[in-house]
Structure 1
Amino acid sequence: MKRVVVCGTKFGQIYLSAMRDGPFELTGILARGSDRSAAYAREHGVPLVTDPDRVPRLADLACVVVRSGVVGGEGSELAAALLSRGVHVLQEHPVHADELARTLRTARAASAVHHVNTLYVHLDPVRRFIDAARRLRELQQPLYVDAACSVHVAYALFDILGQAMGGLRPWTFTATAPGTPFSCVTGTVGGVPLTLRVQNQIAPNDPDAHLHLLHRITVGTEGGNLTLVNTHGPVVWTPRMYVGRDADDRFDTGAEHLSLPSATTIGPAQAPTFADIVTRLWPDGVRRALTGLREAAEDGRDPLRQGQYHLTLSRLWQDATAAIGRPELLVQTAPRPLSATEFA
């Protein structure tokens, strides 16, 4: 089970790139027939189709990289149409809980599997952070989470937290400071106190760009702080600084724990370049997500098995975005990214 049709060719470009190096085989593109989609079909040597009825003859798996209803698209209707035809579907996030519930019912009725892909949880640096957070939780209870993200990727932020913290419930959110560019929310996720800053801005003229950051997350414990500096790394451990006093009430500088480095990277200290992110890291994440879908389909798993978690995730995201409020709309021109050598 490796034949794949990619539906949508905007962010679908990343999914198409993921098909180049196996183990999956791109066998078609489903789109509305734009010049861009036709060019991708020629480039990859596959048919361009506009009718979902043709997909079951071409593929076992479909990647629906089309906006869902909650962000103004028809991705969930397309996912349901493919599932009803027996095609297993990987759908790009975000997906509203009501849409997702209908889609999962369709999947179950057709004995097909549906997965929501938040992408970022499948990237190596994020996986490194999640694995480290899980091991940390075995040693000490998390005391707090401090996080920041763009509103574009808040859904994925909560997936990262859910996997790192071992669950999403219980959660609470209270908006504390609507602001520009960041709005602040406090609350809990998985019962752990949370402080969240969200860049709540969207540029309608370029809606997928102009993010000050993707994700930055710190999980704090008694022994120190684990930080995902950026979605693409690095991951940094900062032990708690504590200098006790000796019998003469002087700093006890001979204590064993004072020999610890004040910060240590877990994994590579250098984050990948943006070109490497787009051409390697993100396609790797797509392949990892597709592998999970294929394994679930081959095992005949109930789509509700993973679907229940994503229903919970979607409801949490809806509560969080309600607390944050409507985004500020901007008109932006292309930014000029700087290298550190220009000012360091």
Structure 2
Amino acid sequence: MKRVVVCGTTFGQVYLDALREGPFELAGILAKGSARSAACAREHGVPLLTDPARVPEVADAACVVVRAGVVGGEGSEVAAALLEHGVHVLQEHPVHPDELAAVLRTARAAGTVHHLNTLYVHLDPVRRFIAAARRLRALQQPLYVDAACSVHVAYALLDILAQALGPLRPWTLTAAPSRAPFTTVTGALGGVPLTLRVQNQIAPNDPDAHLHLLHRITIGAEGGNLTLVNTHGPIIWSPRMYVGREPDGRFAAGDPCLALPSATTLGPAEAPSFRDVVTRLWPDGVRRALTALHETVTSGADPLSQGQYHLGLGRLWLDLTRTIGRPDLLTQEPPRPLAAEEIA
């Protein structure tokens, strides 16, 4: 499973960039035939296909980077058609659990493999955060989660938390009184108290933009708190501040705890540039997701566990979206991002 077709050329551009280098080879683009898709096919020197039935002629796997029905697209129908034709599929999130269940049934009947890709869990900074969170969890029980995200990437946030914390059942979610741009949700995931702020806004004139942030997560324990400042880093460990007392009540200045830095970065202290994110970090994540699909196909492992995981995650995501309600619709002009030097 090395030759891959990409379906969709909007966010699919990231997938196309991921296939510029090995170990996978771009074999074609599947699209409806727009000028943009034709231009992408010419740029990459591959055929432009408009019929899923032709994909097995050039590839044995496909990346479906088209919106699923839950967000107004036909991605799940395309994925099902490819699976029926014997093509393994990596599908971009989010997907409604009912859609996903149908696609998984199609894959099982056809003897093909379907994986859902949330992308962000495959990025280096997030992987580093998840690994640190698991080490923290092995030492101490998490006491709380404080997180924020845009509604666009709420599904991925839940995936990050599930991989960091373990099973998220049982969960409880309640919307608290709040004002735009953030809707506040309180509750618990897997018994860990949760405070979550979701930017529940979408600009129909530019639906993939105007996010105040992607993900920001803090997991707190007795010994301190672990923070993913931004989806792309940095990661900061802040030990719990504790100043002991001498018998006479004075601060215990010799306490070893006082020698701890009040905050330490785990990994690079500076996050990558947005250019580096789009051209390196995200394509690296796509290659990791494709590698996981390849390993499932070549090992003959039952993909049902991955499917069941995402079915459960999808139900939690649906519960969250119901809790926060429909997004506010905005009309936005392109923002002017500021450099750090402008406010230093």
User: Normalised by the size of structure 2, how large is the TM-score?
Assistant: 0.99
The answer to whether structure 1 residue 131 and structure 2 residue 109 are counterparts is no
Q: Match for residue 200 of structure 2?
A: 200
Q: Deviations over 1:102-153 (max 9, x none)?
A: 0000011111110000000000000000000001100000000000000000
Q: Match for residue 235 of structure 1?
A: 235
Matched residues in 2 for 1:5 and 1:271: separation? 31
Matched residues in 1 for 2:44 and 2:167: separation? 40
Q: Match for residue 174 of structure 1?
A: 174
Q: Deviations over 1:275-324 (max 9, x none)?
A: 00000000000000000001101112223120000000000000011111
Q: Match for residue 109 of structure 1?
A: 109
Check the 8 A contact 1:89/1:114 in 2, yes or no. Answer: yes
Matched residues in 2 for 1:302 and 1:109: separation? 13
Unaligned runs of 5+ in 1: none
Q: Match for residue 2 of structure 1?
A: 2
Q: Match for residue 92 of structure 2?
A: 92
Report matched runs for 1:1-344 at 5 Å. 1-344=1-344
- Alpha-carbon distance, 1:170 to partner: 1.2
Check the 8 A contact 1:8/1:31 in 2, yes or no. Answer: yes
Matched residues in 2 for 1:316 and 1:99: separation? 15
Question: How much is the aligned-residue C-alpha RMSD, in angstroms?
Answer: 0.7
- Alpha-carbon distance, 1:57 to partner: 1.1
Check the 8 A contact 1:203/1:331 in 2, yes or no. Answer: yes
Matched residues in 2 for 1:81 and 1:200: separation? 33
Q: Which amino acid aligns with 1:3?
A: R
Matched residues in 2 for 1:86 and 1:189: separation? 38
Matched residues in 1 for 2:88 and 2:199: separation? 34
Matched residues in 2 for 1:326 and 1:222: separation? 37
- SS of alignment partner, residue 170 of structure 2: coil
Higher mean C-alpha displacement, 285-294 vs 162-171: 162-171
Matched residues in 2 for 1:177 and 1:303: separation? 41
Matched residues in 2 for 1:106 and 1:231: separation? 33
Check the 8 A contact 1:172/1:189 in 2, yes or no. Answer: yes
User: What fraction of aligned residue pairs are identical, expressed as a percent?
Assistant: 77
Matched residues in 1 for 2:197 and 2:154: separation? 10
User: Normalised by the size of structure 1, how large is the TM-score?
Assistant: 0.99
Matched residues in 2 for 1:168 and 1:114: separation? 23
- Alpha-carbon distance, 1:243 to partner: 0.8
